[in-house]
Structure 1
């Protein structure tokens, strides 16, 4: 385990594959005393690192991502190699060494940063890869251009919310966000896959590190229609959570809240990641905001039985009802 967390966090900031989800303060919030960082260090410099959260489910050792942590995976220091072939060779060497020091496990599941592109050594070590997609507004420096790239239908929804007197504020308690977040899951017949205490721990860590903002869309009677929760650093703002009142969805307030979140993100980050754009009912909403489709890797390893079981549990949770409740307890 890496002892010098300041050195590690500086490495994360410099790594092309680094994100706020890799930072030690985030890991302390989502997996206190349950994570470890395997790394390659030479001449007092970290060359590669891989944060891992290991847990046992029914006595089976698994390396999984914590809830509300959409990105982990391997990070590299910026390459000093002048040739592509040399840079690639160095990546292969480092990945191979990291795989050799992985803790023993029966099943592995992580989603890697979109800047991680070379999974060949993982393939050689019997890992599997699935391509996933998110939508990314890569350059927030020109908000007029960002607005221009938004689809006409999405713009109409934003204007509709404004005409109905919806305004977006940020001075509402976290408890109100948790209520409306839960409403969205209940509308789909799903169990919220994380506890309120878990979100509060993340929120406290984010506030301490100046890394979150919540946007509440309210009407003239102060009824809460929708909310958007983003986390951010100076590189990327991420849409982490959201929610809308099922009885007030016709106002399209969620579109306005999301647009205000993007506007704020332009003051603190270089880009905006909508995160989680694989669901067919969510993808059109995110696509409508004009982001580019960006691919990233879901990396797994385990025997066919464990992989099938884990996939089946996740699918059963997504179907809602009693299976959702049971699977939520098992998976999370």
Structure 2
């Protein structure tokens, strides 16, 4: 049995593998490269895994983050977390099995708090932040913690638009692309990539669209919520630049939070980060808690590192 097949079996029983690391999710996101995995064992059974996505640039093969995958990194079964001697041994086993790459770059899950074995092997780390609302079962308390001005914006938007879920993925992609166009940026994934990603999520019952529509049937904003057994993730969104004054985008955030609590019964809502000041302010105004996660990297090829520095 290959490591990837063994990993598929492992994920069927492991209690809290994040959606980003599920084999079916990686299958759908591996555009332009391929994913693989190394495994750690204890008494003959798999107890840890490190999935990774790799691509080629000329003669170089390197590990990076694929589109739609916010976090990866090492995963250990709960009973092997927190006992440092055991944890170190399993992480070292995973690192030893990694094949030779020109570079390694991954965002680890926020639940990974120990990257020391990677440091011992000359990896480097930068701390990034996501923003999380915990305790969603106390939704009234979450609502009370929202900034007063933000609550007024939500109420204003509710008077102008209604929230629906039935519009097609093509409509979401259109709104998502408009947001990139407004910033003068190219969409980092094609429609075909997005459609494949969405189909996988839909097949596994792990996504919901939110659309804010006015009385003239104009779509002001759209959002995509995805989830696993531990958390819901505010995955992607988009706005019509001509209709942003309605505040529909803020309303959709609140509707996604409500959905995560009332429909999904989850305890955690993850905004999927942002290091941008303007975005960070909105996350905090919703009462979200700044939550660190590790970006871990290593260059094994000086030539590839130079090539990376020279790219636009």
Query: Is the TM value for this pair above 0.5?
Result: yes
Residue 284 to residue 308, structure 1, CA distance change in 2 (3 Å): farther
> Corresponding residue for 1:329?
none
Partners of 1:237 and 1:189 in 2: CA distance: 29
Pick one of 189, 200, 203 that aligns with 1:205.
Answer: 200
- Structure 1 residue 252: deviation in Å? 0.5
User: Residues 117-175 of structure 1: CA distance to partner in whole angstroms, max 9, x if unpaired?
Assistant: 11111011111100000110111101101101111121111111112x21110010111
Residue pairs, 1:255-274, within 5 angstroms:
255-266=250-261, 267-268=263-264, 269-274=266-271
| TM-score normalized by the length of structure 1 | 0.87
* Correspondent of 1:284 among 281, 287, 290: 281
**Aligned to 1:4, what secondary structure does the other structure show?**
helix
The alpha-carbon deviation at position 6 of structure 1 amounts to 4.5
Deviations 1:260-301 (A, max 9, x none): 111111121221000132122321122221111100000111
CA contact (8 A) 1:2 1:39 kept: no
Question: CA separation in 1, counterparts of 2:181 and 2:80?
Answer: 50
Matched, 1:25 2:24: yes
Q: CA deviation at 1:58?
A: 2.6
Counterpart in the other structure of 2:163: 168
Superposition misfits of 4+ residues, deviation over 4 angstroms: 303-309
Distance 1:177 1:98, change over 3 A: same
Give 1:47's aligned residue. 47
The farther-off stretch of 120-129 and 26-35 is 26-35
Alignment TM-score, normalising by the size of structure 2: 0.93
Say if 1:234 and 1:270, in contact at 8 Å, map to a contact too: no
1:118 to 114, 117, 140: 114
Q: Aligned residues, how many?
A: 306
Q: Report the Cα distance in structure 2 between the residues aligned to 1:140 and 1:293, rounded to whole angstroms.
A: 16
Alignment partner for residue 12 of structure 2, among 7, 10, 13?
A: 10
- Judging changes above 3 Å, is the alpha-carbon distance between structure 1 residues 258 and 80 closer, same or farther for their aligned structure 2 residues? closer
User: 104, 108, 121: which one pairs with 1:108?
Assistant: 104
C-alpha offsets along residues 304-325 of structure 1, whole Å, 9 cap, x if unaligned? Answer: 6645754775xx5xxxxxxxxx
CA distance in 1, matches of 2:7, 2:119: 30
Question: What are the within-5 Å matches in structure 2 for residues 30-179 of structure 1?
Answer: 30-31=29-30, 34-79=34-79, 87-163=83-159, 165-179=160-174
Determine helix, strand or coil for the equivalent of 2:50. strand
RMSD between aligned alpha carbons? Answer: 1.9
Q: Tell me by how many angstroms 1:45 deviates.
A: 2.2
Aligned pair partner of 1:190 in 185, 190, 196: 185
Alignment of 1:234-249 (within 5 A): 234-249=229-244
Q: CA 1:80/1:53 → structure 2, altered by over 3 Å: closer, same or farther?
A: closer
Instruction: Tell me what 1:216 maps to.
Output: 211
Counterpart CA distance in 1 for 2:256 and 2:140 is: 15
For residues 189 and 80 of structure 1, what CA distance do their matches in structure 2 show?
A: 46
Q: CA deviation at 1:94?
A: 1.0
- Structure 2 unpaired stretches of 5+: none
